[in-house]
């Protein structure tokens, strides 16, 4: 097994973490939709359009959460870490691992 290959328990742990991150975002999105639907309903009852402000603010948070989950589960951070490790090893005069 090469250093870049993971054993089954490591893969299972990583898979569980990725599923948990994605599931956490889905729960966040569902709560966002339900709660903001209620706020829009209240806003419509009062005849004022104030619900857009919490919708936009929370929407930015939801988008940031989604971006963080995507970056964590897409392999992007692992590739960045591997490249940085190779750069540091080369800087130290060590032979980079495959």
Rounded Cα–Cα distance for residues 14 and 35 (Å): 32
Residue 85, in any domain of the structure: yes
> Is residue 14, in this structure, part of any structural domain at all?
yes
Task: Flag residues of the chain having pLDDT under 50.
Answer: 1-3
What is the model's pLDDT at position 93? 82
Domain assignment of residue 61, given as a range: 8-91
pTM over 0.75: no
Question: How many Å apart are CA 81 and CA 84, to the nearest integer?
Answer: 5
Q: Is residue 96 part of a domain?
A: no
DSSP character at residue 98 = -
CA nearest neighbour of 80 among 71, 69, 91, 70: 71
Structure tokens at 91: 């800087």
pLDDT of residue 35: 98
pLDDT digits (tens, 9 = 90+) for 57-76: 999 999 999 999 998 888 88
Residue 98 maps to a domain: no
Query: Residue 34 domain-assigned?
Result: yes
pLDDT value at position 97?
63
């Amino acid at each position: 097994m090469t250093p870049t290959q993971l054993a089954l328990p490591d893969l299972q742990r990583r898979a569980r973490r990725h599923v948990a991150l994605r599931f956490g975002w889905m729960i966040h999105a569902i709560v966002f939709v339900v709660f903001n639907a209620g706020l829009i309903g209240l806003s419509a009852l009062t005849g004022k359009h104030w619900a857009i402000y919490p919708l936009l603010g929370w929407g930015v948070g939801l988008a940031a959460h989604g971006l963080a989950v995507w970056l964590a589960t897409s392999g992007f951070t692992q590739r960045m870490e591997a490249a940085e490790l190779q750069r540091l090893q080369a800087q130290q005069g060590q032979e980079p691992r495959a």
